[in-house]
């Protein structure tokens, strides 16, 4: 640890590099769109290279938190800027890097106010990195807010409103809210997530006050065993607070609206990374600090996760707007993530973390592709489109691979995650959880294959002409994401070895508190 402290502050550089990029963009690149993109590529590139580096350099033998940095901010209150990654956060940092790096390329074509767009996007990413790296709960909360707030402007200004409006009784019930528009989605998403952060804040305070140790440090709090009553309600507060971001039913409704309305890179980042941030919070902060509470409420977490899996899949089947299908599939897959965590078994928890990664990459790929399709065809309505495979073979192939990973085909990352989760469910105290999970996978196959067939491989639609395949920088996103998806499907050990070093101690605390 001591040797680490004086080393090059890798995690700080990873975290703040995009933020510096945002400042540079705001100050230097007025009316120079190419420079904006260049700065964005370079600064996120630095983070990506360094996160690959720490991924390789992480010592899985030693395990625990590495690349540790600490800087005392407010000593009397025990607030410090304390960073460190273990096997779990390591994978999440890598995921964030992959998604933002490809996201920068996927939003190459943003025309209006692109300077502000990239600046906000990069500021947001700093928040995401910060949450994954931070070991101080208070600073974690600050980063969390930083990750949530720019979303309002990103969706409100650069988002797109859906073509499909509610009909019948729903149209009447929502007549004043402007449901389906980007303004509505932006407001809903922001308020839901801030509502969640209220619970998180109360939970953090409760831990701080009850610990009596005048420290917000995760490492200090981990050493304390809280009273059972406190554990129960604080775990519930964290579950609700972080869970909203992870899209737990019935508080998930911000997610389809938000993801469908957001511009491509923001959808990628939000569905791909920010929702994981919620699940990560439940596992790291909730289960890590409150093991007894986690055991006591596992039935709730798992039960709701089962509803998520099935409900999300059924909702996805009913959608006619392509972005909504992907958004609801996220709700369903996040259910699998939470289910894996709720099993409190090694396989399940590993599956959960692996699913976070696999789903992050997969949904990032989906949103990137949907963005490309929308840009070329100017439509998101599934049944208007058809036969795009001939005109855009690259996009079609990538979409199909993503779809296969989504339904858990062997040799894709999705398969590994699902099998591990199923194993965990079977070994847990609630064996019946397996059935909703399997049912969800079957339903996923239905809606994914339906969409793929209709849009790409079906008969050509008469509405569209002169469609072209992806080109130039757009390929970067597709290639990187597909490659990652297949690589981690073929060699899951790449991720599972470090993840295991983080989940085993976590479970050890839960089983023998």
Partner 1 sequence: MTVTSPFALEIGLGVLVLLVFLATLFARGDDRRAIGWLATIGVLVVLAGSFLVAPASTVPPALGGMFVLDGLAIFAKRLFLIATFIGLLAGLSSTDPVFARRSGEYHLLVLTSLLGMCVLASARDLILLFLAFELMSIPLYVLSGFVKRDAIAVEAALKFFLVGSVSSAVMAYGLSFVYGAAGTTSLAGVAKAFAAGSPLLVLGLLAAFAGFAFKIAAFPFHMWVPDTYEAASTPFVAWLSVAPKAAGFVALFRVYYEGAGERVVAWIPIAAGLATITMLAGNLMALPQQNTKRLLAYSGIAQIGYMLVGFAAASASGTAMVLFYLVAYVFGNMGAFLVVDAVARFEGSESTAAFRGLAQRSPLLALSMLLFLLSLGGIPFVAGFWAKLYVFWAAAAAGLYWLVLVGAILTVVALFYYLVIAKRMYIEAPERAARIRVAPTLAIALLLCVLGVVVLGVYPKPLVMAALRVATPLF
Which residues here bind partner 1, judged by CB under 8 A? 74, 142, 145-146, 149, 152-153, 156-157, 183, 186-187, 190-191, 194-195, 198-199, 201-202, 205-206, 209
Taking the complex as a whole, the smallest distance from the CB of residue 328 to partner 1 amounts, in Å, to: 25
Q: Helix, strand, or coil here: 381? A: strand
Decide whether 262 or 391 has the Cβ nearer to partner 1: 262
Upper half-sphere CA count for residue 404 (Cβ side, 13 Å): 14
CB-based contact 165:381 (threshold 8 Å): no
Taking the complex as a whole, the smallest distance from the CB of residue 491 to partner 1 amounts, in Å, to: 40
Please name the residue that has the structure tokens 């409103």. Answer: 161
Decide whether 149 or 372 has the Cβ nearer to partner 1: 149
Taking the complex as a whole, the smallest distance from the CB of residue 400 to partner 1 amounts, in Å, to: 36
Taking the complex as a whole, the smallest distance from the CB of residue 451 to partner 1 amounts, in Å, to: 31
Return the DSSP state at 470. Answer: -
Give kind and range of the element (H or E) at residue 82. Answer: strand 79-85
Beta-carbon count within 10 A of 168 CB: 7
CB-based contact 405:418 (threshold 8 Å): no
Tokens of 303: 């039960």
Taking the complex as a whole, the smallest distance from the CB of residue 162 to partner 1 amounts, in Å, to: 17
Taking the complex as a whole, the smallest distance from the CB of residue 459 to partner 1 amounts, in Å, to: 40
The span from the CA of 293 to the CA of 442, in Å, is 33
Decide whether 153 or 446 has the Cβ nearer to partner 1: 153
The span from the CA of 442 to the CA of 379, in Å, is 28
Taking the complex as a whole, the smallest distance from the CB of residue 280 to partner 1 amounts, in Å, to: 20
In degrees and rounded to multiples of 5, residue 489 shows phi and psi of -75, -40
The span from the CA of 383 to the CA of 381, in Å, is 6
The span from the CA of 283 to the CA of 235, in Å, is 10
CA 333 to chain centre: 11
Q: Is 472 exposed, middle or buried (0-12, 13-18, 19+ CB in 10 A)?
A: exposed
Q: Is 176 exposed, middle or buried (0-12, 13-18, 19+ CB in 10 A)?
A: exposed
The span from the CA of 232 to the CA of 220, in Å, is 20
Q: Is 70 exposed, middle or buried (0-12, 13-18, 19+ CB in 10 A)?
A: middle
Decide whether 120 or 455 has the Cβ nearer to partner 1: 120
Q: Helix, strand, or coil here: 483? A: helix
Taking the complex as a whole, the smallest distance from the CB of residue 510 to partner 1 amounts, in Å, to: 25
Taking the complex as a whole, the smallest distance from the CB of residue 260 to partner 1 amounts, in Å, to: 17
């Amino acid at each position: 640890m001591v040797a680490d402290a004086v080393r090059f502050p890798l995690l700080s550089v990873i975290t703040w590099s995009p933020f510096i990029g945002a400042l540079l963009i705001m100050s230097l690149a007025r009316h120079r769109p190419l420079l904006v993109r260049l700065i964005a590529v370079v600064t996120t590139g630095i983070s990506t290279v360094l996160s690959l580096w720490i991924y390789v350099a992480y010592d899985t033998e030693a395990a625990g938190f590495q690349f540790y940095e600490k800087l005392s901010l407010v000593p009397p209150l025990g607030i410090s800027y304390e960073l460190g990654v273990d096997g779990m956060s390591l994978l999440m940092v890598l995921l964030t890097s992959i998604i933002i790096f490809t996201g920068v390329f996927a939003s190459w074509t943003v025309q209006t106010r692109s300077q502000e767009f990239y600046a906000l996007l990069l500021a947001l990413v700093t928040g995401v990195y910060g949450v994954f790296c931070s070991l101080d709960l208070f600073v974690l909360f600050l980063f969390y807010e930083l990750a949530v707030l720019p979303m309002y402007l990103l969706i409100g200004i650069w988002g797109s409103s859906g073509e499909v409006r509610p009909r019948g009784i729903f149209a009447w019930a929502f007549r004043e809210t402007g449901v389906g528009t980007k303004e509505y989605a932006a407001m809903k998403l922001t308020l839901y997530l801030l509502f969640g952060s209220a619970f998180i804040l109360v939970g953090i305070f409760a831990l701080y006050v009850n610990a009596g140790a005048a420290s917000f440090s995760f490492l200090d709090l981990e050493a304390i065993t809280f009273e059972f009553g406190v554990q129960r309600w604080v775990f519930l507060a964290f579950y609700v607070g972080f869970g909203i971001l992870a899209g737990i039913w019935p508080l998930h409704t911000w997610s389809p609206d938000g993801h469908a309305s957001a511009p491509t890179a923001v959808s990628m980042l939000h569905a791909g990374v920010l929702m994981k941030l919620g699940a990560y919070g439940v596992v790291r902060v909730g289960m890590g600090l409150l093991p007894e509470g986690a055991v006591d409420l596992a039935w709730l977490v798992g039960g709701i996760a089962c509803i998520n899996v099935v409900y999300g899949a059924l909702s996805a089947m009913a959608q006619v707007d392509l972005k909504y299908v992907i958004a609801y599939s996220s709700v369903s897959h996040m259910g699998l993530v939470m289910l894996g965590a709720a099993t409190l078994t090694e396989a399940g928890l590993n599956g959960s973390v692996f699913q976070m990664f696999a789903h992050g990459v997969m949904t990032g790929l989906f949103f990137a592709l949907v963005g490309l399709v929308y840009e070329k065809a100017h439509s998101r309505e599934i049944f208007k489109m058809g036969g795009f495979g001939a005109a855009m073979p690259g996009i079609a192939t990538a979409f199909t691979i993503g779809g296969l990973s989504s339904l858990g085909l062997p040799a894709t990352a999705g398969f590994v995650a699902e099998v591990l989760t199923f194993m965990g469910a079977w070994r847990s105290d609630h064996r019946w959880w397996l059935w909703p999970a399997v049912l969800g996978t079957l339903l996923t196959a239905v809606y994914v294959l339906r969409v793929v067939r209709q849009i790409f491989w079906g008969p050509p639609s008469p509405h569209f002409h002169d469609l072209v395949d992806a080109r130039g920088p757009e390929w970067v996103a597709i290639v990187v994401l597909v490659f990652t998806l297949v690589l981690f499907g073929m060699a899951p050990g790449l991720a599972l070895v470090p993840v295991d070093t983080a989940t085993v101690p976590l479970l050890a605390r839960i089983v023998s508190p």
